[in-house]
Amino acid sequence: MILNYLNNKYVSVKKKKRLGRGQGSGKGGTCTKGHKGAKARSGNSKKIGFEGGQMPLQRRIPKFGFKRKKKKYSILNIDTIQYLINIGKIKKKINRDFLFKKNIKILGRGKLTYKINITANKFSKKAYECIKNNCGNIIIL
C-alpha cells in the first residue's frame, strides 16, 4: 500500500465516539461531560447571542428603522360586479355602502356590458378603462 494511493475510506472516516456504554469503553460514567453544571445536563445548548447572563448585544442596541403600515385593499373584479348585476343583487349604481369595507380596489378581470356608476378607493388601469369605455362614472375616494 502506497500513501498516495490510499482511498478516502481508509483515511478520513473516523469512528463515531459512543458515549455512556460502560466504563470499559473509556467514555462511560459522565460521558466526557464532567460533573454537574449546566453543560452536564441534557439540552445544554445555549440560544444564539447568549452572553452568560449579560444583556445580549441585540437587546443592548436600540431598534432602528421604520416600517410604514401598508394599506390592505379588499379586491373586487369587474366580472364579479357583472355577475352580481346579472342575478339582481345590485343595481347599476355601486357606492361605498354596498361595498361595506373600508378599502376597496376594483380590478379589471372580465368584461362589463352595463353602464355603471361606481365609488371605490382604488381602480386598476384596466378596470378604469373598462368602466369608462361603457360610459360609466367613477368616483375615487
In this structure, what CATH number is given to the domain that contains residue 96? 3.100.10.10
The answer to whether residue 130 is domain-embedded is yes
Alpha-carbon distance of 9 to 80, in angstroms, equals 67
The answer to whether residue 4 is domain-embedded is no
The answer to whether residue 59 is domain-embedded is no
Look up the domain containing 113 and give its range: 74-140
Look at the pTM and tell me if it is higher than 0.85.
no
The answer to whether residue 104 is domain-embedded is yes
Q: What is the pLDDT along the chain (141 residues), one digit of tens a residue?
A: 677 776 766 666 677 888 889 988 888 889 889 999 888 888 888 889 899 889 999 999 999 899 888 888 889 899 988 888 888 887 767 766 666 667 889 999 988 888 888 888 889 999 989 888 887 778 787
The answer to whether residue 5 is domain-embedded is no
Total structural domains in the chain? 1
Closest CA to 141 of 107, 111, 113, 106: 106
